[in-house]
Structure 1
Amino acid sequence: MSAPGPRRIDLNADLGEGFGVWRLGDDEALLEVVTSANVACGFHAGDPVTMRRVCRGAVAAGVSIGAQVSYRDLAGFGRRFVDVAPEELAADVLYQLAALDGIARTAGGRVSYVKPHGALYNAVVHHEAQAAAVVTAVAGYDPGLAVLGLPGSRLLQAAAEAGLPTVGEAFADRGYTPEGTLVPRGLPGAVLHEPAAVAGRAVRMVRDGTAVAVDGSVVRVDVGSVCVHGDTPGAVHLARSVRAALEAAGLVLAPFAG
Protein backbone atom coordinates (compact mmCIF):
# COMPACT_ATOMS: atom_id res chain seq x y z
CA MET A 1 0.00 0.00 0.00
CA SER A 2 1.45 3.38 -1.01
CA ALA A 3 1.75 6.17 1.52
CA PRO A 4 -0.83 8.97 1.23
CA GLY A 5 0.34 12.05 -0.64
CA PRO A 6 0.44 15.59 0.71
CA ARG A 7 -2.89 17.05 1.73
CA ARG A 8 -4.50 19.36 -0.82
CA ILE A 9 -6.17 22.59 0.26
CA ASP A 10 -7.98 25.32 -1.65
CA LEU A 11 -7.35 29.05 -1.20
CA ASN A 12 -10.17 31.36 -2.25
CA ALA A 13 -10.81 35.09 -2.41
CA ASP A 14 -13.70 37.36 -3.39
CA LEU A 15 -12.98 38.95 -6.77
CA GLY A 16 -14.70 41.20 -9.30
CA GLU A 17 -16.12 43.48 -6.62
CA GLY A 18 -15.65 46.70 -8.52
CA PHE A 19 -18.50 48.41 -10.35
CA GLY A 20 -18.26 50.60 -13.43
CA VAL A 21 -15.28 52.94 -13.05
CA TRP A 22 -14.82 51.96 -9.38
CA ARG A 23 -12.27 49.23 -8.70
CA LEU A 24 -12.05 47.34 -5.42
CA GLY A 25 -9.10 45.08 -4.75
CA ASP A 26 -6.44 43.83 -7.14
CA ASP A 27 -8.09 41.00 -9.05
CA GLU A 28 -5.13 40.37 -11.36
CA ALA A 29 -2.64 40.00 -8.50
CA LEU A 30 -4.95 37.76 -6.45
CA LEU A 31 -5.51 35.46 -9.43
CA GLU A 32 -1.78 34.69 -9.27
CA VAL A 33 -2.17 33.52 -5.66
CA VAL A 34 -5.55 31.85 -5.10
CA THR A 35 -6.87 28.59 -6.52
CA SER A 36 -10.57 29.56 -6.48
CA ALA A 37 -12.22 32.90 -7.27
CA ASN A 38 -15.58 33.86 -5.77
CA VAL A 39 -16.79 36.21 -8.50
CA ALA A 40 -19.38 38.89 -7.71
CA CYS A 41 -22.43 38.49 -9.95
CA GLY A 42 -23.76 42.05 -10.07
CA PHE A 43 -26.13 42.10 -7.09
CA HIS A 44 -23.73 43.29 -4.37
CA ALA A 45 -20.90 44.34 -6.70
CA GLY A 46 -19.56 43.62 -10.14
CA ASP A 47 -20.93 44.24 -13.61
CA PRO A 48 -20.83 42.33 -16.91
CA VAL A 49 -17.52 43.84 -18.04
CA THR A 50 -15.88 43.08 -14.69
CA MET A 51 -17.32 39.57 -14.60
CA ARG A 52 -15.97 38.87 -18.07
CA ARG A 53 -12.53 40.24 -17.26
CA VAL A 54 -12.21 38.19 -14.07
CA CYS A 55 -13.46 35.01 -15.75
CA ARG A 56 -10.93 35.40 -18.54
CA GLY A 57 -8.18 35.95 -15.99
CA ALA A 58 -9.27 32.96 -13.92
CA VAL A 59 -9.29 30.64 -16.95
CA ALA A 60 -5.84 31.84 -17.99
CA ALA A 61 -4.49 31.27 -14.47
CA GLY A 62 -6.13 27.87 -13.98
CA VAL A 63 -8.26 29.23 -11.12
CA SER A 64 -11.66 27.69 -10.40
CA ILE A 65 -14.64 30.05 -10.87
CA GLY A 66 -17.36 30.31 -8.23
CA ALA A 67 -20.53 32.38 -8.28
CA GLN A 68 -20.67 34.65 -5.26
CA VAL A 69 -24.40 35.25 -5.01
CA SER A 70 -25.95 37.97 -2.87
CA TYR A 71 -29.03 39.81 -1.87
CA ARG A 72 -30.06 42.50 -4.32
CA ASP A 73 -28.17 45.17 -2.36
CA LEU A 74 -25.67 47.08 -4.50
CA ALA A 75 -25.77 50.17 -2.30
CA GLY A 76 -25.03 48.18 0.85
CA PHE A 77 -22.45 45.88 -0.75
CA GLY A 78 -24.67 42.95 0.18
CA ARG A 79 -23.90 43.35 3.87
CA ARG A 80 -27.47 44.16 4.95
CA PHE A 81 -29.96 41.40 5.73
CA VAL A 82 -32.95 41.41 3.38
CA ASP A 83 -36.12 39.64 4.47
CA VAL A 84 -36.84 38.43 0.94
CA ALA A 85 -39.39 35.73 0.17
CA PRO A 86 -37.81 32.33 -0.56
CA GLU A 87 -39.26 32.13 -4.08
CA GLU A 88 -37.81 35.54 -4.93
CA LEU A 89 -34.45 34.71 -3.38
CA ALA A 90 -34.24 31.46 -5.34
CA ALA A 91 -34.93 33.38 -8.55
CA ASP A 92 -32.31 36.00 -7.68
CA VAL A 93 -29.68 33.33 -7.00
CA LEU A 94 -30.55 31.52 -10.23
CA TYR A 95 -30.29 34.78 -12.18
CA GLN A 96 -26.82 35.53 -10.80
CA LEU A 97 -25.54 31.98 -11.24
CA ALA A 98 -26.76 31.66 -14.82
CA ALA A 99 -25.36 35.06 -15.79
CA LEU A 100 -21.88 34.32 -14.47
CA ASP A 101 -21.83 30.81 -15.89
CA GLY A 102 -22.75 32.12 -19.32
CA ILE A 103 -19.93 34.66 -19.20
CA ALA A 104 -17.49 32.08 -17.84
CA ARG A 105 -18.28 29.69 -20.69
CA THR A 106 -17.52 32.33 -23.34
CA ALA A 107 -14.11 32.67 -21.64
CA GLY A 108 -13.47 28.93 -21.90
CA GLY A 109 -14.43 28.07 -18.32
CA ARG A 110 -17.54 27.48 -16.25
CA VAL A 111 -18.91 28.06 -12.78
CA SER A 112 -17.99 25.07 -10.63
CA TYR A 113 -19.33 26.14 -7.22
CA VAL A 114 -21.55 28.66 -5.45
CA LYS A 115 -20.81 30.73 -2.36
CA PRO A 116 -23.22 33.24 -0.78
CA HIS A 117 -21.84 36.68 0.01
CA GLY A 118 -22.01 38.94 3.04
CA ALA A 119 -25.31 39.10 4.89
CA LEU A 120 -26.73 36.21 2.88
CA TYR A 121 -23.75 34.04 3.87
CA ASN A 122 -24.38 34.80 7.53
CA ALA A 123 -28.16 34.46 7.27
CA VAL A 124 -28.11 30.96 5.79
CA VAL A 125 -26.07 29.69 8.71
CA HIS A 126 -29.38 29.47 10.58
CA HIS A 127 -32.17 30.76 8.31
CA GLU A 128 -33.95 27.61 7.12
CA ALA A 129 -36.09 29.18 4.40
CA GLN A 130 -33.33 31.23 2.82
CA ALA A 131 -30.87 28.34 2.95
CA ALA A 132 -33.42 26.16 1.20
CA ALA A 133 -34.00 28.85 -1.43
CA VAL A 134 -30.29 29.03 -2.28
CA VAL A 135 -30.09 25.25 -2.53
CA THR A 136 -33.20 25.11 -4.71
CA ALA A 137 -31.62 27.52 -7.18
CA VAL A 138 -28.27 25.70 -7.30
CA ALA A 139 -29.78 22.21 -7.60
CA GLY A 140 -32.21 23.42 -10.24
CA TYR A 141 -29.42 24.87 -12.36
CA ASP A 142 -26.82 22.11 -11.99
CA PRO A 143 -26.96 19.38 -9.32
CA GLY A 144 -23.24 18.82 -9.79
CA LEU A 145 -22.25 22.25 -8.51
CA ALA A 146 -20.53 22.39 -5.13
CA VAL A 147 -21.73 24.71 -2.37
CA LEU A 148 -19.10 26.51 -0.28
CA GLY A 149 -20.14 27.69 3.16
CA LEU A 150 -19.63 27.78 6.91
CA PRO A 151 -19.21 24.31 8.48
CA GLY A 152 -22.31 23.29 10.41
CA SER A 153 -24.47 25.85 8.63
CA ARG A 154 -28.02 25.13 7.60
CA LEU A 155 -26.93 25.92 4.03
CA LEU A 156 -24.46 23.03 3.89
CA GLN A 157 -26.89 20.72 5.64
CA ALA A 158 -29.63 21.52 3.12
CA ALA A 159 -27.19 21.21 0.21
CA ALA A 160 -26.05 17.78 1.39
CA GLU A 161 -29.67 16.67 1.82
CA ALA A 162 -30.29 17.73 -1.80
CA GLY A 163 -27.32 15.68 -2.98
CA LEU A 164 -25.06 18.64 -3.78
CA PRO A 165 -21.33 18.45 -3.04
CA THR A 166 -20.48 20.60 0.01
CA VAL A 167 -17.23 22.21 1.10
CA GLY A 168 -16.53 23.73 4.51
CA GLU A 169 -14.78 27.07 4.55
CA ALA A 170 -12.47 28.72 7.09
CA PHE A 171 -11.60 32.41 7.20
CA ALA A 172 -7.98 33.29 7.80
CA ASP A 173 -8.67 37.02 8.13
CA ARG A 174 -11.94 37.01 10.10
CA GLY A 175 -12.65 36.60 13.80
CA TYR A 176 -14.77 33.75 15.15
CA THR A 177 -17.34 33.74 17.94
CA PRO A 178 -17.26 30.95 20.56
CA GLU A 179 -20.14 29.36 18.60
CA GLY A 180 -17.98 29.04 15.47
CA THR A 181 -19.72 31.79 13.50
CA LEU A 182 -18.09 34.96 12.19
CA VAL A 183 -17.82 38.05 14.38
CA PRO A 184 -20.08 40.71 12.79
CA ARG A 185 -18.19 43.40 10.93
CA GLY A 186 -17.88 46.56 12.97
CA LEU A 187 -17.26 44.70 16.22
CA PRO A 188 -13.77 44.38 17.75
CA GLY A 189 -11.78 41.46 16.34
CA ALA A 190 -14.00 41.02 13.29
CA VAL A 191 -11.24 41.53 10.70
CA LEU A 192 -7.57 40.55 11.08
CA HIS A 193 -4.84 42.43 9.22
CA GLU A 194 -1.41 41.24 10.42
CA PRO A 195 0.05 38.92 7.73
CA ALA A 196 2.06 36.61 10.02
CA ALA A 197 -0.89 36.12 12.38
CA VAL A 198 -3.32 35.50 9.50
CA ALA A 199 -0.93 33.02 7.87
CA GLY A 200 -0.34 31.14 11.13
CA ARG A 201 -4.07 31.02 11.74
CA ALA A 202 -4.63 29.48 8.31
CA VAL A 203 -2.06 26.75 8.91
CA ARG A 204 -3.59 25.89 12.29
CA MET A 205 -7.07 25.73 10.79
CA VAL A 206 -6.00 23.30 8.09
CA ARG A 207 -3.54 21.23 10.12
CA ASP A 208 -5.41 21.02 13.42
CA GLY A 209 -8.98 21.85 12.44
CA THR A 210 -9.23 24.54 15.12
CA ALA A 211 -9.26 28.31 15.48
CA VAL A 212 -9.05 30.63 18.47
CA ALA A 213 -12.24 32.63 18.97
CA VAL A 214 -12.33 36.26 20.10
CA ASP A 215 -12.86 35.22 23.72
CA GLY A 216 -9.81 32.93 23.65
CA SER A 217 -11.76 29.69 23.42
CA VAL A 218 -10.94 27.10 20.77
CA VAL A 219 -13.53 26.25 18.12
CA ARG A 220 -13.57 23.42 15.60
CA VAL A 221 -13.40 24.27 11.88
CA ASP A 222 -13.91 21.79 9.05
CA VAL A 223 -11.71 23.15 6.29
CA GLY A 224 -11.90 22.32 2.61
CA SER A 225 -11.05 25.85 1.54
CA VAL A 226 -9.41 28.85 3.20
CA CYS A 227 -10.72 32.34 2.42
CA VAL A 228 -8.85 35.64 2.33
CA HIS A 229 -11.11 38.59 1.53
CA GLY A 230 -10.20 40.54 -1.59
CA ASP A 231 -11.42 43.84 -0.13
CA THR A 232 -9.38 43.59 3.08
CA PRO A 233 -6.61 46.23 3.23
CA GLY A 234 -3.38 44.59 2.07
CA ALA A 235 -5.33 41.62 0.68
CA VAL A 236 -2.68 40.61 -1.86
CA HIS A 237 0.10 40.57 0.74
CA LEU A 238 -2.15 38.64 3.13
CA ALA A 239 -3.02 36.08 0.46
CA ARG A 240 0.62 35.61 -0.51
CA SER A 241 1.57 35.16 3.15
CA VAL A 242 -1.17 32.58 3.65
CA ARG A 243 -0.21 30.64 0.53
CA ALA A 244 3.47 30.64 1.45
CA ALA A 245 2.71 29.41 4.98
CA LEU A 246 0.42 26.63 3.76
CA GLU A 247 3.02 25.44 1.27
CA ALA A 248 5.75 25.63 3.89
CA ALA A 249 3.57 23.37 6.05
CA GLY A 250 3.67 20.75 3.29
CA LEU A 251 0.24 21.40 1.81
CA VAL A 252 -0.52 21.39 -1.90
CA LEU A 253 -2.66 24.31 -3.09
CA ALA A 254 -5.32 23.18 -5.56
CA PRO A 255 -8.97 23.98 -6.37
CA PHE A 256 -11.60 21.84 -4.63
CA ALA A 257 -13.75 21.97 -7.78
CA GLY A 258 -12.73 21.88 -11.43
Structure 2
Amino acid sequence: MTPPQTGRLYLVGIGPGDPELMTCKAVRILTQTSVWAAPKARENSSSALQIAAAMVSPEGKTVLELCFSMKKIRLGCEPDQEAAQSWRQAAETVLAQLDQGRDVAFPTLGDPGLYSTGFYLLHTLRELRPDLPVTVVPGITAMSACSAQVVSPLGLGDDVLTVVPAAFDDARLRDILMQSDAVVLMKIFRQLPRLLPLLDELSLIDKAVIVERGSMDEQRIHYDIRAAAGRELHYFSTMLVRKKQLISRAS
Protein backbone atom coordinates (compact mmCIF):
# COMPACT_ATOMS: atom_id res chain seq x y z
CA MET A 1 0.00 0.00 0.00
CA THR A 2 1.06 3.58 -0.61
CA PRO A 3 2.20 5.27 2.62
CA PRO A 4 -0.28 8.04 3.62
CA GLN A 5 2.34 10.76 3.26
CA THR A 6 3.76 9.64 -0.10
CA GLY A 7 4.80 12.56 -2.27
CA ARG A 8 3.88 12.98 -5.93
CA LEU A 9 6.22 12.19 -8.79
CA TYR A 10 6.30 14.65 -11.69
CA LEU A 11 7.77 13.57 -15.03
CA VAL A 12 8.54 16.98 -16.49
CA GLY A 13 9.33 17.51 -20.16
CA ILE A 14 11.74 20.45 -20.36
CA GLY A 15 11.96 20.67 -24.13
CA PRO A 16 14.75 20.13 -26.64
CA GLY A 17 17.51 22.24 -25.10
CA ASP A 18 16.73 25.94 -25.33
CA PRO A 19 15.58 26.83 -21.79
CA GLU A 20 13.08 29.33 -23.23
CA LEU A 21 11.25 26.40 -24.83
CA MET A 22 10.26 25.06 -21.42
CA THR A 23 6.52 25.38 -20.81
CA CYS A 24 5.08 27.61 -18.10
CA LYS A 25 3.81 24.49 -16.34
CA ALA A 26 7.24 22.86 -16.37
CA VAL A 27 8.75 25.99 -14.81
CA ARG A 28 6.01 26.11 -12.17
CA ILE A 29 6.41 22.45 -11.20
CA LEU A 30 10.19 22.73 -11.00
CA THR A 31 9.83 25.85 -8.87
CA GLN A 32 7.37 24.22 -6.47
CA THR A 33 9.04 20.85 -5.97
CA SER A 34 11.67 20.52 -3.28
CA VAL A 35 13.44 17.55 -4.89
CA TRP A 36 14.77 17.18 -8.42
CA ALA A 37 15.84 13.76 -9.67
CA ALA A 38 17.82 14.31 -12.86
CA PRO A 39 18.82 11.55 -15.30
CA LYS A 40 22.38 11.26 -16.56
CA ALA A 41 24.70 8.79 -18.27
CA ARG A 42 27.37 7.45 -15.96
CA GLU A 43 30.25 9.45 -17.44
CA ASN A 44 28.41 12.75 -17.97
CA SER A 45 26.65 15.41 -15.98
CA SER A 46 22.90 15.73 -16.41
CA SER A 47 21.91 17.73 -19.51
CA ALA A 48 18.34 17.92 -18.21
CA LEU A 49 19.56 19.42 -14.94
CA GLN A 50 21.62 22.07 -16.74
CA ILE A 51 18.66 23.13 -18.89
CA ALA A 52 16.22 23.19 -15.97
CA ALA A 53 18.65 25.21 -13.84
CA ALA A 54 18.85 27.87 -16.55
CA MET A 55 15.20 28.75 -15.86
CA VAL A 56 14.69 27.72 -12.24
CA SER A 57 17.40 28.00 -9.61
CA PRO A 58 18.14 24.69 -7.86
CA GLU A 59 19.38 26.57 -4.80
CA GLY A 60 17.83 25.16 -1.64
CA LYS A 61 16.55 22.04 -3.39
CA THR A 62 17.65 18.46 -2.98
CA VAL A 63 19.17 17.49 -6.34
CA LEU A 64 19.64 13.79 -7.09
CA GLU A 65 21.57 12.80 -10.21
CA LEU A 66 20.43 9.33 -11.23
CA CYS A 67 22.66 7.18 -13.42
CA PHE A 68 20.91 5.31 -16.23
CA SER A 69 22.39 2.67 -18.49
CA MET A 70 22.70 3.74 -22.13
CA LYS A 71 22.16 0.21 -23.44
CA LYS A 72 19.51 -0.47 -26.09
CA ILE A 73 16.10 -1.47 -24.74
CA ARG A 74 13.74 -3.68 -26.74
CA LEU A 75 10.19 -3.74 -25.43
CA GLY A 76 8.78 -7.23 -24.98
CA CYS A 77 12.23 -8.59 -24.13
CA GLU A 78 13.89 -8.91 -20.77
CA PRO A 79 15.93 -5.74 -20.16
CA ASP A 80 19.68 -5.90 -19.93
CA GLN A 81 20.73 -6.66 -16.35
CA GLU A 82 22.75 -3.46 -16.06
CA ALA A 83 19.82 -1.38 -17.31
CA ALA A 84 17.36 -3.07 -14.94
CA GLN A 85 19.73 -2.57 -12.01
CA SER A 86 20.16 1.13 -12.80
CA TRP A 87 16.35 1.58 -12.95
CA ARG A 88 15.98 -0.18 -9.61
CA GLN A 89 18.67 1.92 -7.92
CA ALA A 90 17.15 5.11 -9.29
CA ALA A 91 13.66 4.06 -8.19
CA GLU A 92 14.82 3.30 -4.66
CA THR A 93 16.58 6.67 -4.44
CA VAL A 94 13.45 8.51 -5.56
CA LEU A 95 11.16 6.41 -3.38
CA ALA A 96 13.18 7.34 -0.28
CA GLN A 97 12.19 10.97 -0.93
CA LEU A 98 8.58 10.24 -1.86
CA ASP A 99 8.07 8.18 1.30
CA GLN A 100 9.04 11.25 3.33
CA GLY A 101 6.10 13.07 1.73
CA ARG A 102 8.32 15.12 -0.58
CA ASP A 103 7.25 15.78 -4.16
CA VAL A 104 9.90 14.85 -6.73
CA ALA A 105 10.33 16.37 -10.19
CA PHE A 106 12.09 14.29 -12.83
CA PRO A 107 13.12 16.72 -15.61
CA THR A 108 13.63 14.97 -18.93
CA LEU A 109 14.67 16.31 -22.32
CA GLY A 110 11.94 16.76 -24.88
CA ASP A 111 8.66 15.08 -23.96
CA PRO A 112 8.44 12.33 -21.30
CA GLY A 113 6.33 10.16 -23.61
CA LEU A 114 8.83 10.00 -26.47
CA TYR A 115 11.87 7.74 -25.91
CA SER A 116 12.40 9.09 -22.40
CA THR A 117 14.03 7.45 -19.39
CA GLY A 118 11.17 8.80 -17.28
CA PHE A 119 8.81 5.94 -18.05
CA TYR A 120 11.45 3.31 -17.26
CA LEU A 121 11.76 4.94 -13.84
CA LEU A 122 7.97 5.11 -13.44
CA HIS A 123 7.53 1.46 -14.43
CA THR A 124 10.06 0.37 -11.79
CA LEU A 125 8.56 2.64 -9.14
CA ARG A 126 5.08 1.26 -9.75
CA GLU A 127 6.38 -2.25 -9.28
CA LEU A 128 7.33 -1.10 -5.77
CA ARG A 129 4.37 1.28 -5.23
CA PRO A 130 1.45 0.43 -7.58
CA ASP A 131 -0.64 3.37 -6.34
CA LEU A 132 2.13 5.96 -6.59
CA PRO A 133 0.64 9.37 -7.51
CA VAL A 134 2.20 10.72 -10.70
CA THR A 135 1.72 13.67 -13.04
CA VAL A 136 3.23 13.81 -16.54
CA VAL A 137 4.02 17.28 -17.88
CA PRO A 138 4.44 17.20 -21.68
CA GLY A 139 7.25 19.10 -23.35
CA ILE A 140 8.31 20.31 -26.78
CA THR A 141 10.00 17.45 -28.62
CA ALA A 142 13.42 17.52 -30.27
CA MET A 143 11.83 16.75 -33.63
CA SER A 144 9.52 19.78 -33.28
CA ALA A 145 12.51 22.00 -32.56
CA CYS A 146 14.42 20.55 -35.51
CA SER A 147 11.44 21.14 -37.81
CA ALA A 148 11.33 24.76 -36.67
CA GLN A 149 15.06 25.25 -37.18
CA VAL A 150 14.94 24.14 -40.83
CA VAL A 151 11.58 25.89 -41.45
CA SER A 152 9.92 22.71 -42.74
CA PRO A 153 6.81 20.90 -41.50
CA LEU A 154 6.96 17.47 -39.95
CA GLY A 155 3.60 16.57 -41.43
CA LEU A 156 1.31 18.40 -43.81
CA GLY A 157 -2.05 17.53 -45.37
CA ASP A 158 -2.31 13.77 -45.77
CA ASP A 159 1.37 13.07 -45.00
CA VAL A 160 2.22 9.85 -43.22
CA LEU A 161 4.88 10.68 -40.62
CA THR A 162 6.97 7.99 -38.94
CA VAL A 163 9.29 8.48 -35.98
CA VAL A 164 11.89 5.77 -35.36
CA PRO A 165 15.20 5.25 -33.57
CA ALA A 166 17.98 5.15 -36.17
CA ALA A 167 19.26 1.90 -34.69
CA PHE A 168 16.44 -0.09 -36.39
CA ASP A 169 17.75 -2.81 -38.67
CA ASP A 170 18.16 -1.93 -42.37
CA ALA A 171 15.23 -4.03 -43.60
CA ARG A 172 12.74 -2.30 -41.30
CA LEU A 173 14.17 1.13 -42.07
CA ARG A 174 13.98 0.49 -45.80
CA ASP A 175 10.29 -0.35 -45.52
CA ILE A 176 9.62 2.70 -43.35
CA LEU A 177 11.48 5.05 -45.70
CA MET A 178 9.66 3.61 -48.71
CA GLN A 179 6.17 3.75 -47.19
CA SER A 180 6.26 7.06 -45.30
CA ASP A 181 6.04 10.59 -46.66
CA ALA A 182 8.20 11.97 -43.88
CA VAL A 183 10.51 10.22 -41.43
CA VAL A 184 12.23 11.40 -38.26
CA LEU A 185 15.31 9.36 -37.39
CA MET A 186 16.25 9.84 -33.76
CA LYS A 187 19.79 9.58 -32.33
CA ILE A 188 21.69 9.02 -35.54
CA PHE A 189 25.07 10.05 -34.11
CA ARG A 190 26.69 6.63 -34.63
CA GLN A 191 24.36 5.35 -37.34
CA LEU A 192 25.00 7.74 -40.23
CA PRO A 193 27.70 5.69 -42.05
CA ARG A 194 25.28 2.75 -42.06
CA LEU A 195 22.32 4.91 -43.16
CA LEU A 196 24.12 6.62 -46.03
CA PRO A 197 23.97 3.68 -48.51
CA LEU A 198 20.28 3.16 -47.72
CA LEU A 199 19.44 6.82 -48.34
CA ASP A 200 21.46 6.67 -51.55
CA GLU A 201 19.65 3.54 -52.71
CA LEU A 202 16.26 5.18 -52.17
CA SER A 203 17.33 8.54 -53.68
CA LEU A 204 16.65 10.35 -50.41
CA ILE A 205 20.03 11.98 -49.80
CA ASP A 206 18.85 15.34 -51.11
CA LYS A 207 15.62 15.16 -49.14
CA ALA A 208 17.28 14.76 -45.75
CA VAL A 209 18.75 17.16 -43.25
CA ILE A 210 20.51 16.61 -39.94
CA VAL A 211 20.04 18.91 -36.98
CA GLU A 212 22.74 18.53 -34.35
CA ARG A 213 21.96 19.83 -30.85
CA GLY A 214 18.72 21.36 -32.09
CA SER A 215 17.76 24.66 -30.38
CA MET A 216 20.95 24.63 -28.26
CA ASP A 217 23.74 27.22 -28.44
CA GLU A 218 26.01 24.72 -30.24
CA GLN A 219 23.39 23.83 -32.87
CA ARG A 220 24.59 22.83 -36.34
CA ILE A 221 22.47 22.06 -39.39
CA HIS A 222 23.86 19.66 -41.99
CA TYR A 223 22.31 19.81 -45.45
CA ASP A 224 25.21 17.87 -47.00
CA ILE A 225 24.55 14.39 -45.59
CA ARG A 226 27.65 12.84 -47.17
CA ALA A 227 29.90 15.43 -45.59
CA ALA A 228 28.19 14.96 -42.22
CA ALA A 229 28.95 11.23 -42.39
CA GLY A 230 32.64 12.07 -42.01
CA ARG A 231 32.05 14.04 -38.81
CA GLU A 232 31.66 12.90 -35.25
CA LEU A 233 28.10 13.96 -34.55
CA HIS A 234 26.79 14.79 -31.11
CA TYR A 235 24.47 12.34 -29.33
CA PHE A 236 21.63 14.86 -29.79
CA SER A 237 21.45 14.57 -33.58
CA THR A 238 18.21 14.08 -35.50
CA MET A 239 17.60 13.47 -39.20
CA LEU A 240 14.48 14.70 -40.97
CA VAL A 241 13.58 13.09 -44.29
CA ARG A 242 10.75 14.65 -46.28
CA LYS A 243 9.75 13.31 -49.71
CA LYS A 244 7.02 15.68 -50.88
CA GLN A 245 9.14 18.78 -50.72
CA LEU A 246 12.79 19.42 -50.32
CA ILE A 247 13.99 20.60 -46.94
CA SER A 248 14.30 24.36 -47.16
CA ARG A 249 17.45 26.07 -46.01
CA ALA A 250 16.76 28.17 -42.93
CA SER A 251 17.67 31.83 -43.35
TM over 0.5: no
Q: TM-score, normalised by structure 1?
A: 0.32
Which structure: larger Rg?
A: 2
